[in-house]
Structure 1
């Protein structure tokens, strides 16, 4: 039972699940790394009677197939015990209901001495000695869980104080994410405090940041239950502030955390995976898909005891597979077209993209671009083949790998905006293009009229407008 693979933060989160299921509005977590080391978790939810407490302290009080309330975050009826005893040897639970306080305790040392799994009922004097019992007494109702003798949580640590402090930080980061939908909003349904400090929610979809995209929710019917899928495309990292980038997990976090985010009754269960429906790539790292599942589908999702992993059943995978490519394409376009808004039909680009067979593609310099036409007019006919070979060399040696890595990073390309001679260079370019059409006044006039739609002028519309006024 103690070797189920709980980490410290997932064990704490499992206790908070019970608080949410008990309709708690606030949860206080205290870590005491000095003196007698302990962890205490107090909520103001519905307390338990003595019989309810002893039932809750039994192992496997409710099976995974048993019916549950719609918003129940439980799964196997094991979380309170297994999560606690995965970290400590002494687990104490106090609960208050209808003005009466009851207590019970599992102490593994006592179990080993007696060679019997006997649950210890606390007397009133024992209850008063439990850390933060007075905080429970101040509530109308609530439950207090205390871990002592943290042998597993601090196993192999030469500095237990420092190790517990690290666990505090890990638990804060973990709960700010997995419970973010309970913690966020002007009137959050839950407040969690660690040693008095309120945990701030971390939205993995960065919905408060400008430049992101959210697609309409798509329902997926599985029998009588509904799975809701909502795709999000994060803003390009060049649009994120340093603090927003930190929330996204940094550049490496962006790549690692792309994929599906599976929620069970608003609680995040698993994230950062495509369930083998797609590969994690640099150009898709902005794609994150929210998947909401009800607890009535637990038996299909292979949900584990720790509620830290869920694998979708085949009917759900079919629905997810249909949207994966569409979402990935949107993520890629955030990179591909961030220079300007794509190659709209009215834009005359310097480069053209061609689709080949079997999903292959290539880029070619636009041989119809007027600047290239102007160059052909200026050079002798004998130099034409050499110019064409030079253009082909540029096309076939384009550094795709380097460009791919740079565009997928947070490094910004060095563009012309800040150069002092930009206007002069664009003016000279325009004059050379127009000069090649001196013998064709109608084409010359049309080119000048469309100047703002031609690369590179389309990237600098204000400068292009002034050039048009100057040359007309």
Structure 2
């Protein structure tokens, strides 16, 4: 048996690799990954749609010397099986080249390190026998934005020119490139939101000088957002961290918060797991077939943090835009996914309430039956119901019970589900002053029943904020407590 050396034809393979599946925004994000791996705190994306259109990505990272530049420009420069630094965002040693050449025919890298500047380029029209173009000083001086790079202590500049695939089929390159950048801005804002919101130090990304604002899918600053305690899933010798968040109902969100969550349509589409690899978002808006996407679970978001040491188990693709959990992780996720989904449903069932607050006295009770169906009953342990029952003559008690049963059996579930799923806001029954008067009247009735026991009356006042409907109006309830003490 003989061995035959059969290297791939450079022009053919490079053209084929352009069809690996990068979109403009995922390609741009791949370049930003390299900047983050180089400890950059600032990444500037610049573009021009003039006759010689280009896209340039510049950072203030550690930069590369000549040897490192040429190694970085080699296809498959790193073995994905090799152990890497825990903060490394790379994997296959292909991202810089495949991402860039998926959008353009000529990609240039210029890097500054320890006062030395090095440049190299891949040109698909001049790449026979894998010949990399090494730039001389005159070539480097002609690269867009290189002057700004030279004024830094260190950093790297990547330039895409001859944007044949990025602008394919477009008659107006300026409008087309503007549209691509608009989508890229949203993509970068989401994928790197934890870096943009960070403090050690925070990453800053700009596009033609305008900052990219973090797009936080968990609405960390929104009032009424609920967070479950994090769980750790052991896989081999590492751990996967899982933390579930339940967004407030859309009726509780401001217009700005709804926009941050991706709009009302985005609320439906973006429920599910958000998988991060070293804080970089990889994939989102999926339950990995562990649950169905439902209207009533669309407020559930689950943050899953995986270390790069488990890449081989997550089927991570070259574009770092898709990942599938291994069986051991799926088993762990499936144990908590139903509980997470149930919390999301409760936000609709009890708007504004913490569905797992054991101290709350709700007006309705949710019962899970043996056949896995559910039933809602009026809470007969509610203090207001108890006060009413004491006022009703004994002979009329059965009639009161029949009336309550009628309410339970005729509850319009279908209509309520349709209204909640469509995000319609509940119209207030009364104006604010009328609501306060009504609550004051209800509180008066509750305390009147306990008039003979000062201790019981004071205890009722102390826990008034835990009763529905008082819990939905905390400020009014505080005022009512002061009036009735």
Q: CA deviation at 1:455?
A: 7.3
Instruction: Tell me if the contact between 1:94 and 1:145 (Cα under 8 Å) persists in the aligned partners.
Output: yes
Match of 2:257 in 1: 244
Matched, 1:411 2:424: yes
State whether structure 2 residue 232 is matched by structure 1 residue 216. Answer: no
SS in 1 for 2:329: helix
Match of 1:363 in 2: 376
Give the structure 1 partner of residue 82 of structure 2.
Answer: 66
Cα distance in 2, alignment partners of residues 130 and 255 from structure 1: 44
The equivalent of 1:282 in structure 2 is: 295
Change (3 A) 1:348 1:200: closer
Residues 277 and 306 in structure 2, CA contact (< 8 A), matched pair in contact too: yes
Partners of 2:359 and 2:227 in 1: how far apart?
A: 28
Gaps of 5+ in 1: none
Of 91, 96, 115, the match for 1:75: 91
User: Following superposition of structure 1 onto structure 2, how do residues 197-216 of structure 1 map, counting pairs within 5 Å?
Assistant: 197-216=210-229
- Alignment check: 8 A CA contact 1:261 1:270 kept: yes
- Count of equivalent residues: 459
- Conserved in 2, the CA contact under 8 Å of 1:374 and 1:433? no
Deviation at 1:239, TM superposition (A): 2.3
Taking structure 1 as the reference length, what is the TM-score of the superposition? 0.84
Change (3 A) 1:423 1:230: closer
How far residue 170 of structure 1 moved from its aligned partner, in angstroms, is 1.2
Q: Deviations over 1:126-164 (max 9, x none)?
A: 111111121221122221111011011111112211110
CA distance in 1, matches of 2:404, 2:178: 61
Matches within 5 A, 1:13-412: 13-111=29-127, 115-186=128-199, 188-338=201-351, 353-364=366-377, 369=385, 395-412=408-425
Q: Sort the Cα spacing of 1:420 and 1:60 in 2 relative to 1 into closer, same or farther, 3 A.
A: closer
C-alpha distance 62-187 of structure 1, shift in aligned 2 (>3 A): closer
How large is the Cα RMSD of the aligned pairs?
3.7
Contact 1:374-1:432 within 8 A present in 2 as well: no
Deviations 1:347-383 (A, max 9, x none): 98765544323211223467895798799979999xx
Structure 1's 331 and 171: CA in aligned 2 closer, same or farther, altered over 3 A? same
- Structure 2 gaps of 5+ residues are 1-16
Q: CA deviation at 1:35?
A: 3.1
Q: Given the two structures, how large is their TM-score scaled by the length of structure 2?
A: 0.82
Contact 1:97 1:141 in 2 (8 A): yes
Contact 2:249 2:352 in 1 (8 A): no
Give, in whole Å, the separation in 1 of the partners of 2:301 and 2:371. Answer: 27
Q: In structure 2, what is the Cα distance between the partners aligned to 1:183 and 1:345?
A: 37
Query: Aligned-pair distance for 1:456?
Result: 6.9
**Contact in 2 for aligned 1:92/1:103 (Cα 8 Å):** yes
What is the distance in 1 between the residues matched to 2:439 and 2:263?
A: 38
Change (3 A) 1:334 1:184: same
Counterpart CA distance in 2 for 1:45 and 1:345 is 50
Paired residues of 1:457 and 1:464 also in contact (CA < 8 A): no
**3-state DSSP of counterpart to 2:159:** strand
CA–CA distance in structure 2, aligned partners of residues 51 and 347 of structure 1: 65
Query: Given that residues 371 and 429 in structure 1 are in contact (C-alpha distance below 8 angstroms), is that contact kept between their aligned partners in structure 2?
Result: no
Say whether the 8 Å CA contact 1:367–1:373 is kept in structure 2: no
